[in-house]
Amino acid sequence: MIKKKMTVKNKQGLHARPAAMFVQVANKFESSISVSRDLEKVNGKSIMGILMLGAEQGSEIIVEADGKDAELAVVELEKILDKEEQR
């Protein structure tokens, strides 16, 4: 299992389009992926789950991936969170 604390750098936070991108990338991997913020933990492959976190710019979240492609999944998801703007 890979577990990594990340900061949401996107100006919009993890809302609508960025959340959709996050989920789209997460679903490319076989690993189970979860995301937690404060005391809430959600399925990283569910857009409703990601939106429920209400993660705004500067929020710290923890991404956990468990499976054979977990390491690559965490790297790719971090790239989404590192983008300051989504197109």
Q: Is 52 a catalytic residue?
A: no
Alpha carbon 54 to its chain centroid, in Å, reads 12
Catalytic residue among 6, 13, 15, 81: 15
Q: Any idea which residues carry the catalytic annotation?
A: 15
